[in-house]
Structure 1
Amino acid sequence: MLSAYRGLPAASRLLMINMFGINLGFFLVLPFLAGYMNGLGYAAGTIGLVLALRMLAQQGLTLFTGAAADRLGARPMIILGCALRVLAFGLFTLVGSLPGLIAAAMLTGLAGAVFGPAVRAYLMQDAGERRAEAFALLNTVGHAGALIGPLLGALLIAVDFRLVAGVACAVFAVLTLGQVLVLPARPVPRLETSLLQGWHEVLTNRRFLLFALGGSAYFALFGQLYLALPVEAQRVSGVEAAVSAVFIASTLIGIFGSVPLTSWFKARYSEGASMAAGLALMGAGFGPLALAGPALADAPAGRWSTGGLLAVLPVLLGTALFTVGTAVANPFSMTLLPQVGSERLGGTYYGFYYLVQALAATVVNVAVGQLLDRFGQGPGRALPFLFLLLVGLAGAGLISWMSGTGRLAPRSPSGRRSTSGSGRPQPG
Structure 2
Amino acid sequence: MGTALRGRSRALGRFGALTGTARLLVLSQLLFNIGFFLVLPYLAGHLADDLGLAGWLVGLVLGVRTFSQQGMFAVGGVLTDRFGAKPLILAGCLVRAAGFGVLAAATALPTVLCGVMLVGFAGALFSPAAEASLAREAGPDARADTFAIRSMAGEVGTVIGPLLGVVLSASFPATCVIGAVLFVLIALLHLRFLPRRPGEHRDEGIFDGWREVFGNRAFLLFAAGYSAYLVSYNQLYLGLPAELHRVGAPDQVLGLLFALASALVVFGQLPTTGLARRLLGRDRALVVGFSVLALAFGVVALRPPGLVGATAFVVLLIFGQMLVVPFAMELVPMLAGDRRLGAHFGVLASAGGVAVLVGSTASGALLEHGRVAWLLLGLLPLAGACVMAFAGRRRAHLS
Shorter-chain TM-score: which interval?
0.7 to 0.9
Distance (Å, rounded) in 2 between the aligned partners of 1:131 and 1:160: 41
Q: Relative to structure 1, is the Cα distance of residues 365 and 30 closer, same or farther in structure 2, using a 3 angstrom cutoff? A: farther
The change in CA–CA distance for 1:269 and 1:153 in structure 2 (over 3 A counts) is same
How many Å separate the matches in 1 of 2:221 and 2:73? 19
2:352 maps to which residue?
A: 357
Which has the higher mean CA deviation after the structures are superposed, 284-293 or 383-392? 284-293
Match among 326, 341, 347 for residue 346 of structure 1? 341
Q: Counterpart in 2 of 1:68? A: 79
> How far 1:400 sits from its partner (Å)?
1.7
Which one of the candidate residues 232, 237, 242 is aligned to 2:249?
237
Asked whether the equivalents of residues 73 and 125 of structure 2 are also in contact (C-alpha less than 8 Å), the reply is yes
Residues 347-386 of structure 1: pairs in structure 2 closer than 5 A: 347-371=342-366, 375=368, 380-386=369-375
Matched, 1:130 2:125: no
| CA deviation profile, 1:243-266 (whole Å, cap 9, x unmatched) | 432321111111111111111111
Instruction: State the match for 2:159 in structure 1.
Output: 147
Matched residues in 2 for 1:58 and 1:287: separation? 31
CA distance in 2, matches of 1:96, 1:233: 34
**Which aligned pairs between 1:148-167 and structure 2 lie closer than 5 A?**
148-154=160-166, 160-167=171-178
- CA deviation digits over 1:162-219, x for unaligned, max 9? 4544443333232122222222223443555433333222212111111110011122
- Matched to 1:223, the amino acid is N
What's the secondary structure of 1:93's corresponding residue?
A: helix
In the alignment, the residues of structure 2 paired with residue 153 and residue 289 of structure 1 have an alpha-carbon distance, to the nearest angstrom, of: 33
Offset of residue 339 of structure 1? 1.5
Determine the C-alpha separation between the residues in 2 that align with 1:35 and 1:233: 21
Q: Does residue 330 in structure 1 map to residue 340 in structure 2?
A: no
1:251 to 246, 262, 265: 262
Distance in 2, matches of 1:287 and 1:387, equals: 9
SS in 1 for 2:142: helix
Q: Is the 8 A contact 2:80 2:199 kept in 1?
A: no
In the superposition, relative to structure 1, how do residues 283 and 171 fare at CA in structure 2: closer, same or farther (>3 Å)? farther
* Aligned equivalents of 1:363, 1:369: Cα separation in 2: 10
Q: CA deviation at 1:234?
A: 6.8
1:397 alignment counterpart? 386
Q: 1:291 to 1:52 in 2, by over 3 A?
A: farther
- Say whether the 8 Å CA contact 2:82–2:203 is kept in structure 1: no
The alpha carbon displacement at 1:63 in A equals 1.7
Is this contact kept in 2: 1:54–1:106, CA < 8 A? yes
Per-residue Cα deviation, 1:91-116 (whole angstroms, up to 9, x for no partner): 33344655555443332221111011
Alpha-carbon separation, structure 2, partners of 1:324 and 1:369: 24
Compare 225-234 and 171-180 and name the one that shifted more. Answer: 225-234
Structure 1 residue 86 displacement after superposition:
1.4
- Percent identity between the aligned chains? 34
Match for 2:28 among 18, 23, 41?
A: 18
Give a deviation string over 1:105-138, Cα, whole Å, max 9, x none.
3322211110111001111111112111111111
For residue 83 of structure 1, report the CA deviation from its aligned partner: 1.5
- Aligned match of 1:217 in 220, 228, 231? 228
The corresponding residue for 1:272 is: 283
Report the CA distance between 1:320 and its aligned residue: 2.0
Q: Match of 1:237, SS?
A: coil
Match of 1:106 in 2: 117
Q: RMSD of aligned C-alpha atoms?
A: 2.9
Cα offsets for 1:356-380 (capped at 9, x unmatched): 11111110122233445xx3xxxx2
> What residue is the counterpart of 1:305 in the other structure?
none
Tell me how far apart the structure 2 counterparts of residues 123 and 352 of structure 1 sit (CA, whole Å). Answer: 17
Which of 182, 196, 208 is residue 185 of structure 1 equivalent to? 196
Query: Deviation digits for residues 58-85 of structure 1, max 9, x if unmatched?
Result: 2221222111111111011111111122
In 2, Cα distance between the equivalents of 1:328 and 1:58? Answer: 25
Residue pair 2:81, 2:201 contacting (<8 A) in 1 also = no
Contact between 1:15 and 1:119, CA under 8 Å: does it hold in 2?
yes
Q: Note the residue ranges of structure 2 that are not aligned, 5 or more in a row.
A: 1-10
**Pair 289,36 (structure 1): closer, same or farther in 2 beyond 3 Å:** farther
- Relative distance call for 1:11 and 1:145 in structure 2 (3 A) is same
Matched, 1:120 2:120: no
Distance 1:316 1:17 in 2: 30
**Aligned CA distance change for structure 1 residues 347 and 232 (closer, same or farther; 3 Å):** same
Q: Which moved more, 1:269-278 or 1:252-261?
A: 269-278
Question: What letter matches 1:333 in structure 2?
Answer: A
Residue matched to 1:426 = none
Alignment coverage as a number of residue pairs: 385
Match of 2:5 in 1: none
C-alpha contact 1:154 1:244 (8 A) present in aligned 2: no
Amino acid at match of 1:54: R
Q: Distance in 2 between matches of 1:95 and 1:119?
A: 30
Alpha-carbon distance between aligned partners in 1 of 2:235 and 2:361, rounded to the nearest angstrom: 11
Q: In proportion to residue count, which structure has more helix?
A: 2
Per-residue CA deviations over 1:145-174 (Å, capped at 9, x if unaligned) read 112123334556x76544544443333232
Q: 2:195 aligns to what SS in structure 1?
A: coil
Counterpart code for 2:13: S
Cα displacement string for residues 293-336 of structure 1 (whole angstroms, at most 9, x for unaligned residues): 9x8xxxxxxxxxxxxxxx55543332222111112111111111
Residue 8 (structure 1) aligned with residue 3 (structure 2)? no
User: Hey, what does 1:207 align to over in structure 2?
Assistant: 218
Check whether the contact 2:82–2:206 (CA below 8 A) recurs between aligned residues: no
Q: Secondary structure at the match of 2:219?
A: helix
8 Å CA contact retained: 1:151, 1:244: no
Q: Is the CA contact 1:78–1:114 (under 8 Å) kept in the aligned structure 2? A: yes
Counterparts of 2:192 and 2:267 in 1: how far apart (Å)? 31
